[in-house]
Structures are given as structure tokens and as C-alpha cells.
């Protein structure tokens, strides 16, 4: 759903299921809000800016204003549909409009950052705790890392890809910011419609090796690290880095997830 409730985070009125759109007099620049279907859409305050409300359900998208027909869609994932509607709304509105995404989902934040170059410059996301502007995040990451972020998110562990034992998102993000350009390119490739090459697997294997390697240990590959950890610490199998065969399957799953 797309909504323009500037007071959305503060209004506590129950949603009116029979109301699909509401507009009010404009006092400021136009505001557009992209709302996760899991977030209740509140009634617009009379003090809010002119409303552009776009709803999408059962594959059909409609707007309360004459914005032109929105194409029907077959998006099963609300996350990607929100980005699709955000891009479409960007093309239909002035560059000084404001866009706010309402979602608690980290996946949405990742997709917003990765696609920020296709969205309005004044774009932000309202999550459970705060409202975060997108531009500072894009600037801190840089264009290449921003585009690689969905690949990192899927590779480091998601709903459908599994995760690496004892390595959290914060560790992966730190390594991501320190990674060489070949790792960034490999993670970007996961988001593209290309085959998983041997070079890509080797690059990501070295990335995993760096994440799993204890401090002070200088080895050259995942097999060597597995043997070292097993011999010295008698590490159980679930605490060891994945085998190269298991890692290849993980890369393939991450590629599917990153391309959704």
C-alpha cells in the first residue's frame, strides 16, 4: 500500500476498512508514503499535506488521484511490491516530493537503500523505533556497496537461506565495509541474472574464510581452517565453516533470494 499519512507514527485512530483514500489541503510539499501491508493504515490528519494514496491487492493497483493507470502485478512479496510502487510513484511526482516507507522489516530497508537512485531524493523509512533518512545511508555505503547490499543480506543469512553459526549481521557488515572491490562485485553479481561462476564461488569462499578465521590465525583456505579448528579446538561440525560443497549450495540459495 502507498499512503501519505505524515502523522502516521502518532495517530492511534482505528483504521476504517471501507475507506481506501482520503485527501486534505496541501500546506507543504507533496508527501508520499509506502506502507507495509502489516502496518495499519491510519486516517489522514486534516493538517496533513495533499494525499496520494495507492493501494495494491490481488494483483491490482489503484490510486485515489488521477495518476494514470498502474500496471497489474504478480508480486507475491510485499517487500518488492513496495519498492515497485515507490519507483512508479517517483516517476509520477515532482522531484521535491517526500516519500516515506512504513515497514518494520529489515528486508525493506535493504531494498530501499539498494534502489535509492530510482527513488525520490527525500526518501526515508519509518521503522519500529525511528524514522531513518535514506540519503545518509547511501552516502556512507557508496553506490557500489549500496547495490551489493541485497546480496550481502541474502548471503549472510535470511529467511530462506540459512545463516553461518556464531557470525552475526554486525560482523558481516563490518567485513563488508572493509572488503575489496572483488567481494563487492561478487555480491552484486548475486543480484543479477547470471550463472554462478567458479571465480565468484572462490571470491565468496575467501570472504567466508575471513569471517570465520580466529584472530592471529594465518591460513589460506576454508578446508585448512576447518582442519585447524577441528584439531586444535575439537570443534563440533556445526561450529566449523561450511565445506566448499555446502557453501556452493548456500551461494545458489542466496542468489535466488537476492534476485527476488
Are 147 and 252 part of one and the same domain?
yes
Q: What angle do CA 69, 72, 77 make, to 5 degrees?
A: 130
Domain boundary among 111, 140, 169: 140
> Crossing angle of helices 181-190/244-259, nearest 10°?
60
Are 71 and 155 part of one and the same domain?
no
Are 63 and 188 part of one and the same domain?
no
Q: What angle do CA 46, 69, 91 make, to 5 degrees?
A: 75
Domain boundary among 140, 162, 180: 140
Give CA–CA dist 214/123, Å, rounded. 40
Print the domain residue range for 72.
2-140
Are 156 and 59 part of one and the same domain?
no
Are 178 and 61 part of one and the same domain?
no
Are 24 and 112 part of one and the same domain?
yes
The set of residues, in sequence order, having a beta carbon less than 8 Å from that of 116 and lying 6+ positions away, is 123, 134, 135, 137, 138, 146
Are 28 and 119 part of one and the same domain?
yes
Give CA–CA dist 260/255, Å, rounded. 9
Are 41 and 129 part of one and the same domain?
yes
Are 237 and 132 part of one and the same domain?
no
- The tally of domains found in the chain comes to 2
- pLDDT, one tens digit for every residue, the chain (260 residues): 444 333 343 443 444 433 333 334 444 566 776 666 444 333 333 334 455 555 555 555 555 555 555 555 555 567 788 888 888 888 888 888 888 888 888 889 999 999 999 999 999 998 888 899 999 999 999 999 999 999 999 999 877 777 888 889 999 999 999 999 999 999 999 998 888 899 999 999 999 999 998 888 888 899 999 888 888 777 677 778 899 999 999 999 999 888 87
Are 128 and 187 part of one and the same domain?
no
pLDDT at site 33: 65
Domain boundary among 102, 119, 140: 140
pLDDT at site 249: 93
Are 132 and 147 part of one and the same domain?
no
Are 111 and 159 part of one and the same domain?
no
Amino acid at each position: 500500500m502507498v499512503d501519505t499519512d505524515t502523522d502516521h507514527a502518532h495517530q492511534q485512530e482505528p483504521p476504517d476498512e471501507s475507506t481506501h483514500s482520503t485527501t486534505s489541503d496541501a500546506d507543504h510539499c507533496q508527501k508520499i508514503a509506502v506502507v507495509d501491508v502489516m502496518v495499519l493504515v491510519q486516517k489522514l490528519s486534516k493538517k496533513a499535506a495533499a494525499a496520494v494514496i495507492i493501494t495494491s491487492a490481488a494483483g491490482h493497483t489503484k490510486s485515489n488521484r488521477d495518476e494514470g493507470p498502474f500496471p497489474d502485478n504478480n508480486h507475491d512479496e510485499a517487500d518488492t511490491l513496495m519498492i515497485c510502487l515507490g519507483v512508479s510513484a517517483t516517476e509520477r511526482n515532482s522531484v521535491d516530493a517526500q516519500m516515506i516507507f512504513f515497514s518494520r522489516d529489515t528486508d525493506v530497508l535493504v531494498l530501499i537503500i539498494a534502489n535509492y537512485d530510482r527513488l525520490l531524493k527525500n526518501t526515508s523509512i519509518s521503522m519500529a523505533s525511528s524514522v531513518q533518512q535514506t540519503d545518509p545511508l547511501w552516502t556512507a555505503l557508496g553506490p557500489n556497496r549500496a547495490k551489493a547490499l541485497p546480496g550481502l543480506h541474502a548471503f549472510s543469512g535470511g529467511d530462506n537461506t540459512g545463516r553461518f553459526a556464531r557470525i552475526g549481521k554486525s560482523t558481516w557488515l563490518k567485513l563488508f565495509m572493509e572488503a575489496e572491490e572483488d567481494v563487492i562485485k561478487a555480491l552484486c553479481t548475486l543480484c543479477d541474472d547470471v550463472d554462478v561462476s567458479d571465480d565468484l564461488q572462490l571470491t565468496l569462499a575467501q570472504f567466508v574464510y575471513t569471517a570465520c578465521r580466529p584472530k592471529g590465525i594465518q591460513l589460506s583456505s576454508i578446508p585448512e581452517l576447518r582442519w585447524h579448528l577441528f584439531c586444535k579446538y575439537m570443534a563440533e561440525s556445526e561450529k566449523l565453516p561450511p565445506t566448499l560443497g555446502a557453501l556452493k549450495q548456500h551461494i545458489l540459495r542466496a542468489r535466488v533470494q537476492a534476485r527476488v
